[in-house]
């Protein structure tokens, strides 16, 4: 049988900021609604309700003297060391993010030079044919980066690619918006490489969709909800209700479409690594996915969760989750050779993607 080129992960890394921000740190904040009216409900009740829905009890914030490319560099360096490769042999560096290097004292978006170029510079890679570029695609950016890497590898254009997801949401969130309690910072990275095999290993099939006619502004940039805010700085805003409705309606069927495309039964999936912005939403998505197959019994531990202690760090969520499991740092979760994994993410755009991956020997 002719061997085919497969895309496999050979190394991973992550950077989780040291600064821990607990829910109690929001008890003294002034929160307003979208019309500029201060919320009457006590902050203690607001925080309690948010934790019940999202499961977030704490999150991580980037250090004052750091920016997104710093976190991306640290995650990339760990992934390179894990893969035991010479970084000069990388064909591509793809960096998923959305806001660039936001500074503590100036949160204007800074994407020139590209974040990928900055990380390549920090890695001291001199090879001019290590092509570095950014991928702003909402929260699904890292998953899409892996999908793009698969295209390069299967086409024969590349043999080794570094895919990074890094984001600093704490600096782009409105301190007077209760949604600010959801957002966090971090970075994750993987090295993917070409492997010849006549078995289905590595990335098997993927799917991506963009819904924009009615959904494009479910997440967008707007001024602070506080009418007395000092200036017109733009912050990340989301229509939580519509986003939730879109996700639970669209994601389960898209995941099923991906599995059907891969000709892999749901019963073969050992882990679902999904973007995490709201634990309740993810549980609902998983239940609906199983119901599409006429199943109601969901295997315990099939969907590892990190949102409770890391919050929503956008494009970094899924690669950090993967790295924590690979390194044995997330409860009793682990991967075994031959395991089928389902990766998925949904976010701004609205963009949605997924891929089926089989852990190689």
For 236-286, how does the pLDDT look when each residue is reduced to its tens digit (9 = 90+)?
999 989 999 999 999 999 999 999 999 999 999 999 999 999 999 999 999
CATH of the domain at 137: 3.40.47.10
The residue out of 154, 176, 197 marking a domain boundary is: 197
- What does pTM read for this prediction? 0.95
Q: What is the mean pLDDT of residues 91-109?
A: 94
| pLDDT at residue 2 greater than cutoff 60 | no
pLDDT at 1: 45
CB 143 within 8 A of CB 344: yes
The residue out of 177, 197, 217 marking a domain boundary is: 197
Q: Give yes or no: residues 189 and 218 share one domain.
A: no
Q: What is the mean pLDDT of residues 310-333?
A: 96
Whole-angstrom Cα distance, residue 23 to residue 26? Answer: 6
Mean pLDDT value across the chain: 95
Q: Give yes or no: residues 261 and 291 share one domain.
A: yes
For 14-33, how does the pLDDT look when each residue is reduced to its tens digit (9 = 90+)?
999 999 999 999 999 999 99
Sequence-ordered alpha helix ranges (H) in the chain = 43-54, 68-83, 115-122, 141-155, 240-262, 279-292, 307-310, 317-326
What are the DSSP E strand ranges found in 152-260?
160-168, 185-197, 202-210, 219-222, 235-238
Q: Give yes or no: residues 9 and 36 share one domain.
A: yes
Q: Give yes or no: residues 155 and 218 share one domain.
A: no
For 128-139, how does the pLDDT look when each residue is reduced to its tens digit (9 = 90+)?
999 999 999 999
| pLDDT at residue 87 greater than cutoff 60 | yes
pLDDT at 35: 92
Q: Give yes or no: residues 218 and 150 share one domain.
A: no
The residue out of 197, 230, 252 marking a domain boundary is: 197
Integer angstrom CA distances of residue 141 from 189, 313, 314: 12, 12, 9
Tokens of 80: 């390179």
pLDDT at 240: 87
Whole-angstrom Cα distance, residue 327 to residue 315? Answer: 20
Specify the 3-state DSSP secondary structure of 39. coil
Q: Give yes or no: residues 269 and 167 share one domain.
A: no
Q: Give yes or no: residues 180 and 234 share one domain.
A: no
| pLDDT at residue 34 greater than cutoff 80 | yes
For 180-194, how does the pLDDT look when each residue is reduced to its tens digit (9 = 90+)?
999 999 999 999 999
Tokens of 200: 């289905």
pLDDT band at 179 (very low <50, low <70, confident <90, very high): very high
Q: What is the mean pLDDT of residues 73-102?
A: 97
pLDDT band at 331 (very low <50, low <70, confident <90, very high): confident
Q: Give yes or no: residues 244 and 157 share one domain.
A: no
pLDDT at 198: 86
Whole-angstrom Cα distance, residue 345 to residue 361? Answer: 26
Q: Give yes or no: residues 63 and 39 share one domain.
A: yes
Residue in 12, 114, 139, 118 with CA at minimum distance from that of residue 66: 118
Q: Give yes or no: residues 262 and 164 share one domain.
A: no
Q: Give yes or no: residues 226 and 187 share one domain.
A: no
pLDDT at 107: 87
Domain housing 304:
202-358
The total number of structural domains in the chain stands at 2
Q: What is the mean pLDDT of residues 343-358?
A: 96
Whole-angstrom Cα distance, residue 40 to residue 104? Answer: 30
Q: Give yes or no: residues 225 and 341 share one domain.
A: yes
């Amino acid at each position: 049988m002719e061997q085919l080129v497969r895309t496999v992960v050979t190394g991973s890394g992550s950077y989780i900021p040291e600064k821990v921000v607990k829910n109690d740190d929001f008890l003294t904040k002034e929160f307003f609604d979208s019309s500029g009216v201060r919320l009457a409900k006590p902050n203690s009740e607001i925080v309690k309700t948010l934790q019940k829905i999202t499961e977030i009890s704490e999150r991580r914030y980037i250090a004052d003297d750091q920016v997104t490319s710093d976190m991306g560099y640290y995650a990339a360096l760990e992934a390179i060391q894990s893969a035991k490769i010479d970084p000069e042999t990388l064909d591509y560096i793809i960096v998923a993010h959305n806001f660039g290097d936001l500074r503590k004292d100036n949160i204007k978006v800074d994407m020139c030079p590209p974040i990928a170029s900055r990380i390549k510079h920090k890695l001291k890679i001199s090879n001019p044919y290590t092509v570095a570029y950014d991928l702003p695609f909402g929260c699904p950016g890292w998953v899409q980066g892996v999908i793009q890497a698969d295209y390069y590898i299967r086409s024969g254009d590349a043999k080794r690619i570094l895919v990074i997801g890094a984001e600093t949401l704490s600096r782009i969130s409105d301190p007077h918006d209760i949604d600010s309690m959801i957002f966090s910072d971090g970075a994750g990275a993987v090295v993917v490489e070409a492997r010849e095999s006549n078995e289905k290993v590595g990335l098997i099939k993927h799917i991506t969709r963009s819904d924009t006619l009615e959904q494009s502004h479910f997440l967008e940039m707007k001024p602070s909800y506080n009418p007395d805010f000092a200036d017109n700085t733009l912050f990340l805003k989301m229509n939580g209700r519509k986003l939730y409705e879109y996700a639970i309606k669209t994601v389960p069927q898209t995941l099923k479409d991906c599995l059907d495309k891969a000709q892999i039964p749901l019963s073969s999936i050992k882990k679902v690594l999904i973007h995490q912005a709201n634990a309740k939403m993810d549980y609902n998505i998983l239940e609906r996915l199983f119901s599409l197959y006429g199943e109601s019994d969901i295997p315990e531990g099939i969907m590892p969760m990190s949102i409770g202690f890391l919050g929503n760090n956008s494009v970094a969520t899924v690669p950090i989750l993967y790295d924590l499991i690979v390194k044995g740092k997330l409860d009793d979760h682990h991967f075994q050779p031959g395991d089928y994994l389902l990766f998925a993410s949904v976010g701004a755009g609205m963009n949605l993607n997924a891929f089926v991956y089989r852990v190689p020997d």
